[in-house]
Amino acid sequence: MIGGGVLGLEAANSLRKRGHDISVVEFFPRLLPRQMDPEGAEVLQAQMESMGCRFFLGAKTKEISGDDRASGVLLEDGSMIEGGLVIISAGVRAQAGLAGTLGLTVNRGIPVNDRMETEKKGVFAAGDVIEHRDMCYGIWPAAQTQGEVAGTNIAGGDVTYEGTTMSNVLKVVGIDLAAAGDIDADGKYDAITHKDRDNFIYKKIVIKEHVISGCILYGDITGYRKILKAIEEKKDVSGIMDRLGKWDISAL
Query: 64 has which bridge partners?
Result: 73
Binding flag, residue 176, ligand FAD (CB under 6 A): no
Query: Taking the complex as a whole, how short is the minimal distance between the CB of residue 70 and ligand FAD, in angstroms?
Result: 22
Which residue is at the shortest CB distance from ligand FAD? 127
Q: Which is nearer to ligand FAD, 7 or 251 (CB)?
A: 7
Q: Which is nearer to ligand FAD, 40 or 127 (CB)?
A: 127
Q: Which is nearer to ligand FAD, 137 or 202 (CB)?
A: 137
Query: Taking the complex as a whole, how short is the minimal distance between the CB of residue 21 and ligand FAD, in angstroms?
Result: 24
4, 40, 127, 214: residue in contact with ligand FAD (rule CB under 6 A): 127
Measured distance CA(228)–CA(221) in Å, rounded: 11
Q: Which is nearer to ligand FAD, 87 or 251 (CB)?
A: 87
128, 182, 190, 232: residue in contact with ligand FAD (rule CB under 6 A): 128
242, containing H or E segment: helix 241-245
Rounded to 5 degrees, what angle do the CA atoms 231, 235, 236 make?
130
How many residues belong to the site for ligand FAD (CB under 6 A)? Answer: 11
65, containing H or E segment: strand 61-65
179-238 residues near ligand FAD, rule: CB under 6 A: none
Number of H helices, E strands in the chain: 6, 12
Q: Which is nearer to ligand FAD, 66 or 141 (CB)?
A: 141
232-251 residues near ligand FAD, rule: CB under 6 A: none
Q: Which is nearer to ligand FAD, 140 or 189 (CB)?
A: 140
Span of 21-29, 56-64, 124-132, 182-190 interacting with ligand FAD by CB under 6 A: 124-132
Rounded to 5 degrees, what angle do the CA atoms 116, 120, 125 make?
30
Query: 196 has which bridge partners?
Result: 201
List the 211-218 sheet strands across, edge first.
Answer: 167-172, 175-181, 211-218, 201-208, 190-196
Where would I find the H helices in 18-103?
A: 38-50, 97-101
For residue 150, count CB atoms less than 10 angstroms from its CB and return exposed for 0-12, middle for 13-18, buried for 19 or more. Answer: buried
134-153 residues near ligand FAD, rule: CB under 6 A: 138-141, 143
Query: Taking the complex as a whole, how short is the minimal distance between the CB of residue 1 and ligand FAD, in angstroms?
Result: 14
89-118 residues near ligand FAD, rule: CB under 6 A: 95, 98
Compute and round to an integer the Cα radius of gyration of the chain: 21
Give the CA count within 13 Å in the CB-facing half-sphere of 227: 30
Q: Which is nearer to ligand FAD, 26 or 39 (CB)?
A: 26
Residues in touch with ligand FAD (CB under 6 A) = 7, 95, 98, 127-129, 138-141, 143
